[in-house]
Amino acid sequence: MDIAEELIEKYKGDIRANQTETFFPVISNQKLNSYLKEIADVCGIKKNLTFHMARHTFATMVTLTNGVPIETVSKLLGHIKLTTTQIYAKVIERKVSDDMNNLRDFLNNKSQQNNIGITKSIS
């Protein structure tokens, strides 16, 4: 992805990244969550954003729901066992089930409203 390549290039010579032999400078989870809180405040987001939430959202909403194979998502998340990643897939399955139940309820309500309208027009 272009944006990922740009970020890697931006931090290529960063001393902190070189010390840890990573692409980016490593910061603590606490500091990262603090930055996410600042971003949420600026954007008017009332939820308490955390790194864990961002990671979960990436796994479920960005990758799995867009057809990225679970094996690839597992590697991206750094999971050793595929079963760890399958927890995220279960969230997707539950969401599909919930969405379909909501659709069924919506259609049932709409059908009932149409039936009421038909009955009123007949009488």
Residue 53: strand, helix, or coil? helix
Alpha-carbon distance of 21 to 113, in angstroms, equals 63
The structure tokens 């919930």 sit at 98
pLDDT single digits (tens) 17-63: 888 888 899 899 999 999 999 999 999 999 999 999 999 999 998 99
Contact 82, 74 (CB under 8 A): yes
Give the tokens for residue 74.
């597992």
Q: Which residues contact 59 (CB under 8 A, 6 or more apart)?
A: 73, 76, 77, 85, 88
pLDDT single digits (tens) 56-95: 999 998 998 888 999 999 999 999 999 999 988 887 887 7
Q: Is the pTM of this model over 0.85?
A: no
